[in-house]
Amino acid sequence: MKQARVLTDAEFKRLLAVVEQMKHAGRNRLGLMLSHLAGLRVGEIAALTLRDVFDCDGKAREQLRLRAEITKGGHARVVFLNGKLRREIERYRAECTESRDADAPLLLTQKKTAFSANTLCQLMGQLYRNGGLDGATSHSGRRWFITRLAHSGVSPKVIMTLAGHRNLTTTQRYIDVRDEMMKAAVDLL
């Protein structure tokens, strides 16, 4: 089975520019950012509630605690949110005009209901197609996250833990290697 395409930085910027011109731009942008900047699976994103991402003061949390029932492996884990993603979450909150209960879904469909993992997966696929990114899927953001960490010199054990994997070989399958990366590695010598 062919793996999801990992976007270049230029492709990711282009995708975000395309999304900005669409209906529900804030919601769609946040979904993509949670995938790319936190490495979340589409099912995990769909299951997030306002309480998961905002503290009692209404500020974006520095870390998410994913409940075991929403993770693929059935193991709870902590996901750290960088400043860029926290600002994106707060931007989204500022754009939302309706008042919602803390246990309400973070992302809502057009019908104001929670996304299923499948529906959010289809939406993300459509966003990538609209951006002209053939081969990109709802898993592209997760692969981008893991690849970027690996190429930034982050310890494989840390990457494995952040990804919620139990086995390092699983994590290694996510890492994309391109010719320019191999050339840069050799040029270090």
In a domain, 2, yes or no: no
Q: How many domains does the chain have?
A: 2
Domain end call among 138, 154, 169: 138
The reply to whether 52 and 104 lie within a common domain is yes
Same domain for 163 and 72:
no
Angle between helices 9-20 and 25-38 (to 10 degrees): 160
In a shared domain, residues 66 and 152: no
What separation in angstroms does the CA of 40 have from each of 17, 30, 45, 97, 111? 21, 12, 6, 26, 24
Q: Output the tens digit of pLDDT for each of the chain's 189 residues.
A: 678 999 999 999 999 999 999 999 999 999 999 999 999 999 999 999 999 999 999 899 999 999 999 998 888 999 999 999 999 999 999 988 777 898 999 999 999 999 999 999 999 999 999 999 999 999 999 999 999 999 888 999 999 999 989 998 888 888 888 787 788 888 888
Residues 127, 155 within the same domain: no
Query: What range does the domain containing 48 cover?
Result: 9-138
In a shared domain, residues 111 and 161: no
The answer, as to whether pTM is greater than 0.75, is yes
Q: Say if 4 falls within a structural domain.
A: no
